[in-house]
């Protein structure tokens, strides 16, 4: 039996794969002050549903795969370790100078961002390695020992070491590590060449600083998680989801915690790709994960998970760059718990502020008094107050109405239903804008994609979003309410390796490249033979970063094999680069030379084949409920339990489809059917853009 757990801002999701391949989804409220308790709680919910004790359920598990935003939240809130940054003498401003850029080039009112590590904790090391790896200035070991005393006096809790050109010759960084271990044995150290051997100095330095600052935090969290799960009865293998769309052993993530930063959100595209290939006809999938706090979106094209090296924590250019390629997921603060408010100018806002799990929406009855998207949906009749979380929690309709009336309806001069509808429509517009940013704004037509609705709050408006985008089909997988946890369950154990090595296609250094690829292959194979031992299958994928001469940025190009031997292989590599350049920039210069800068290998180990979801069926006639559709107003709708929908029978909206973990709204004019996999397949029908027009006093950017 295998478990996958994703800890979100509002709910903790659990997907269980039984030994016979059966899959089930369970949800419980996240405990913000103690996320591990939230994990234990959701296992208690699953155990109760199976009629066993939590200890019995955990004892039956062989693997637990965990997605968490613990590290990301620590960075965003500044709750990281007190970290020192050590760099080559004469270069203390790497983190301050950063990489330039502005999201709004004419806005000079924005203050210059602070470096991740302040100058007061930045220290210069007397040494210098040249670009060719030669020792320009020998390391002053006495100065490093003296520096250790200053670090002890400064009470630093972690140390980041990033010396110039350590990727060409790591000798000085390694010796600094040895000296620090002798002087400060209890302080964790991160070396840049070991963590992130890329050629861009700021990215390498930023990654090193972030990783070091997270080591005490994540070591404590992962250690506490492992201990408490073992005490509760789990004695299997603990894996942590990484930002790159794979998983690693918990101990490896504790040693390099930067890999866990976008742990949870990175899994939704993995699951979305799988379900789109299984139950949709489009070659492209827009994968949306609607949680209680955020709306995370990504685009999967031709089966490829989207990647980005431009990964920022916080706002681009004003936050901090991770320096690592990660799954390209964009987020906006719009979810089931997003708070609706009216500002002094009479403008309606939804998000980015969230009610989170505590106190939660007003309808939860935990002390929340401000209206959220969930409250609005309850007021509109889209949610059954007696069937929330399968009936385990009853929603307070009166509290939801009072919150919407006080904070939105009265300030806008609307009745409660109209105000609730405006909240949902505005949330929909924010979500549509997020998808347009990664599709239309990047030359991609969203109408060619299937929209994959994931997350517990996805069903409220996924059909409406698809209509606005022109998508011909929508799927809500049976595991969709826990889409990130589902992605974790089907993810691979994987790790990437990188070696910088400059070459050009003219006078191609085949021997040098061959040596680099052999070294990468050895590193990847060692991973397969070590942590990946026992996998049902394993692969090594090779790629290279390349550019035209004088270009600032590179593109990553997959290699057809493990080597580039002969003119034909080199030509395939050339053609591959031109094709990717044309896809990204719409142009390619096939007569230009090509520069190759850095070579990569990624080891993937499939721990188990993905289990197929088997659609259960129960005989239950649909009910009927008066609802208020945000797009078209009050209407009588059929209410189906998902497992009661006859397989492949084509039904029409308006309708509500309910499960214990989500509610899906089928708008008027849409058709739907349940696939044998349990996936709800929806044809949205006509474009409802005109009927989605917002009140004149609604702010579609949600910024207050």
Query: At 237, which CATH number?
Result: 3.30.420.40
* Mean pLDDT within 605-626: 85
Residue 439 inside a domain? The answer is no
pLDDT surpasses 90 at 256: yes
Residue 504, domain CATH: 3.30.1490
Residue 340 CB partners (closer than 8 Å, separation 6+): 348, 349, 350, 370, 371, 372, 373, 376, 404, 407, 408, 423, 426
pLDDT digits (tens, 9 = 90+) for 42-83: 999 999 999 999 999 999 999 999 998 888 888 888 899 999
Whole-number pLDDT of residue 380: 96
Do 88 and 198 share a structural domain? yes
The secondary structure element, H or E, covering residue 285 is strand 284-290
Whole-number pLDDT of residue 703: 31
Whole-number pLDDT of residue 697: 45
Give Cα separations from 422 to 340, 400, 411, 427 (angstroms).
Answer: 10, 15, 13, 9
pLDDT digits (tens, 9 = 90+) for 304-337: 888 777 788 877 888 899 988 888 888 888 888 8
Task: Say how far apart CA 414 and CA 568 lie, in whole Å.
Answer: 69
The number of distinct structural domains making up the chain is 4
Q: Where does residue 278 rank: exposed (0-12), middle (13-18), buried (19+ CB within 10 A)? A: middle
pLDDT surpasses 50 at 702: no
Which of the listed residues 181, 213, 245 is the one where a domain comes to its end? 213
Percent of the chain with pLDDT over 90: 71
Residue 542 CB partners (closer than 8 Å, separation 6+): 517, 520, 521, 558, 559, 561, 562, 599, 600, 601, 602
pLDDT digits (tens, 9 = 90+) for 93-112: 999 988 877 777 787 787 88
* Mean pLDDT within 536-552: 95
pLDDT surpasses 70 at 467: yes
Q: Where does residue 398 rank: exposed (0-12), middle (13-18), buried (19+ CB within 10 A)? A: exposed
pLDDT digits (tens, 9 = 90+) for 349-376: 998 888 888 888 999 998 999 999 999 9
Whole-number pLDDT of residue 694: 39
First to last CA, the chain: 47
Strand extents, DSSP E, 328-471: 330-332, 338-342, 348-354, 449-454
Structure tokens at 616: 């259960």
Whether the bond into 28 is cis, omega within 30 of 0: no
Whole-number pLDDT of residue 686: 63
Residue 107 inside a domain? The answer is yes
Residue 444 inside a domain? The answer is no
Structural contact between residues 67 and 264, judged by C-beta atoms closer than 8 angstroms: yes
Do 202 and 88 share a structural domain? yes
Which of the listed residues 427, 451, 476 is the one where a domain comes to its end? 427
Residue 154 inside a domain? The answer is yes
* Mean pLDDT within 273-298: 89
CA 218-221-222 angle, to 5 degrees, is 85
Task: Say how far apart CA 448 and CA 429 lie, in whole Å.
Answer: 20
* Mean pLDDT within 488-504: 94
Q: Tell me the three state secondary structure of residue 655.
A: strand
Whole-number pLDDT of residue 80: 95
Which of the listed residues 390, 406, 427 is the one where a domain comes to its end? 427
pLDDT surpasses 80 at 696: no
Task: Say how far apart CA 437 and CA 433 lie, in whole Å.
Answer: 6
Neighbour count for residue 319 (Cβ, 10 Å): 15
pLDDT surpasses 90 at 698: no
Whole-number pLDDT of residue 416: 96
Do 89 and 200 share a structural domain? yes
Q: Tell me the three state secondary structure of residue 88.
A: strand
Do 55 and 101 share a structural domain? no
Structural contact between residues 199 and 193, judged by C-beta atoms closer than 8 angstroms: no
Do 155 and 231 share a structural domain? no
Do 563 and 583 share a structural domain? yes
pLDDT digits (tens, 9 = 90+) for 567-588: 999 999 999 999 999 988 889 9
* Mean pLDDT within 678-693: 67
Residue 461 inside a domain? The answer is no
Confidence class of residue 687 from pLDDT cuts 50, 70 and 90?
A: low
Dihedral Cα 394, 398, 399, 401, nearest 10 deg: 120
Do 349 and 243 share a structural domain? no
Q: Which of 449-458, 605-614, 669-678 has the lowest mean pLDDT?
A: 605-614
* Mean pLDDT within 402-426: 96
Do 84 and 193 share a structural domain? yes
For tokens 């271990």, the residue is 181
Confidence class of residue 136 from pLDDT cuts 50, 70 and 90?
A: very high
Whether the bond into 652 is cis, omega within 30 of 0: no
Confidence class of residue 635 from pLDDT cuts 50, 70 and 90?
A: very high
Residue 486 inside a domain? The answer is no
Residue 66 inside a domain? The answer is yes
Task: Say how far apart CA 161 and CA 124 lie, in whole Å.
Answer: 10
Structure tokens at 516: 């680099």
Do 87 and 207 share a structural domain? yes
Residue 420 inside a domain? The answer is yes
pLDDT surpasses 50 at 463: yes
Do 111 and 23 share a structural domain? no
Contacts 24+ apart (CB under 8 A), 143-147: 144/175, 144/176, 144/179, 144/180, 145/179, 145/183, 147/86, 147/123
Find the domain containing 412 and state its range: 338-427
Percent of the chain with pLDDT over 70: 97
Confidence class of residue 119 from pLDDT cuts 50, 70 and 90?
A: very high
Do 61 and 105 share a structural domain? no
Structure tokens at 518: 């052999």
Whole-number pLDDT of residue 443: 82
pLDDT surpasses 50 at 22: yes
Whole-number average pLDDT of the chain = 91
Do 395 and 351 share a structural domain? yes
């Amino acid at each position: 039996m295998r478990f996958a757990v994703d800890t979100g801002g509002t709910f903790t999701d659990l997907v269980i794969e039984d030994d016979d391949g059966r899959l089930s989804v369970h949800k419980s409220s996240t405990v913000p002050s103690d996320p591990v308790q939230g994990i234990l709680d959701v296992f208690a919910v699953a155990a109760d549903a199976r009629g066993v004790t939590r200890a019995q359920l955990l004892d039956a598990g062989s693997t637990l795969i965990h997605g968490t935003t613990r590290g990301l939240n620590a960075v965003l809130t500044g709750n990281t370790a007190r970290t020192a940054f050590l760099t080559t003498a004469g270069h203390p401003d790497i983190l301050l100078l950063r990489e330039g850029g502005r999201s709004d080039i004419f806005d000079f009112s924005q203050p210059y961002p602070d470096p991740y590590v302040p100058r007061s904790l930045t220290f210069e090391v007397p040494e210098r390695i040249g670009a060719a790896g030669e020792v320009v200035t020998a390391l002053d070991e006495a100065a490093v020992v003296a520096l250790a005393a200053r670090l002890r006096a400064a009470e630093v809790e972690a140390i980041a070491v990033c010396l110039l050109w350590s990727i060409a010759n790591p000798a000085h960084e390694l010796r600094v590590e040895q000296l620090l271990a002798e002087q400060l044995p209890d302080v964790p150290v991160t070396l840049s060449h070991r963590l992130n051997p890329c050629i861009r100095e700021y990215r390498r330095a930023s990654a090193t600083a972030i990783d070091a600052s997270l080591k005490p935090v994540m070591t404590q969290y992962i250690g506490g998680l492992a201990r408490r799960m073992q005490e509760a009865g789990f004695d299997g293998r603990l894996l942590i989801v990484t930002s790159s769309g794979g998983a690693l052993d918990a101990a490896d993530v504790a040693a390099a915690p930067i890999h866990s930063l976008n742990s949870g959100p990175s899994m939704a595209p993995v699951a979305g790709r799988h379900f789109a290939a299984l139950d949709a006809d489009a070659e492209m999938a827009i994968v949306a994960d609607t949680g209680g706090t955020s709306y995370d979106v990504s685009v999967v094209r031709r089966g490829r998970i989207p990647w980005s090296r431009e990964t920022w924590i916080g706002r681009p250019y004003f936050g901090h760059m991770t320096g690592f390629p990660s799954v390209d997921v964009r987020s906006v603060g719009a979810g089931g718990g997003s708070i609706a408010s009216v500002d002094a100018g009479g403008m309606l806002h939804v998000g980015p502020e969230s009610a989170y799990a505590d106190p939660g929406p007003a309808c939860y009855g935990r002390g929340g008094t401000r209206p959220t998207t969930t409250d609005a949906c309850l007021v509109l009749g889209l949610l059954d107050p007696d069937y929330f979380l399968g009936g385990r929690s009853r929603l307070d309709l009166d509290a939801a109405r009072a919150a919407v009336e006080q904070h939105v309806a009265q300030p806008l001069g609307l009745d409660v239903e109209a105000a609730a509808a405006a909240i949902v429509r505005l949330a929909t517009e924010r979500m549509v804008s997020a998808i347009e940013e990664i599709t239309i704004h990047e030359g991609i037509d969203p109408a060619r994609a299937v929209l994959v609705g994931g997350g517990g709050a996805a069903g409220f408006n996924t059909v409406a979003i698809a209509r606005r985008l022109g998508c011909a089909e929508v799927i809500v997988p049976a595991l969709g309410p826990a889409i990130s946890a589902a992605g974790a369950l089907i993810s691979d154990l994987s790790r990437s390796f990188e070696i910088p090595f400059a070459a050009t296609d003219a006078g191609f250094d085949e021997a040098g490249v061959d040596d680099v690829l052999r070294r990468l292959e050895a590193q990847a194979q060692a991973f397969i033979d070590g942590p990946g031992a026992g996998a049902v299958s394993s692969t090594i994928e090779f790629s290279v970063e390349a550019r035209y001469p004088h270009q600032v940025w590179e593109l990553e190009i997959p290699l057809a094999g493990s080597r580039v031997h002969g003119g034909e292989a080199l030509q395939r590599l050339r053609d591959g680069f031109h094709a990717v350049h044309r896809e990204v920039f719409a142009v390619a210069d096939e007569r230009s030379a090509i520069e190759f800068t850095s070579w990569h290998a990624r080891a993937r180990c499939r721990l188990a084949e993905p289990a197929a979801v088997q659609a259960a069926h129960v005989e239950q006639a649909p009910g009927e409920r008066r609802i208020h559709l945000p797009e078209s107003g009050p209407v009588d709708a059929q209410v189906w339990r998902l497992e009661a929908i006859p397989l492949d029978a084509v039904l029409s909206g308006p309708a509500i489809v309910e499960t214990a973990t989500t509610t899906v709204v089928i708008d008027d004019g849409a058709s739907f059917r349940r696939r044998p996999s349990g996936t709800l397949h929806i044809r949205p029908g006509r474009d409802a853009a005109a009927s989605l027009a917002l009140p004149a006093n609604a702010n579609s950017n949600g910024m207050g």
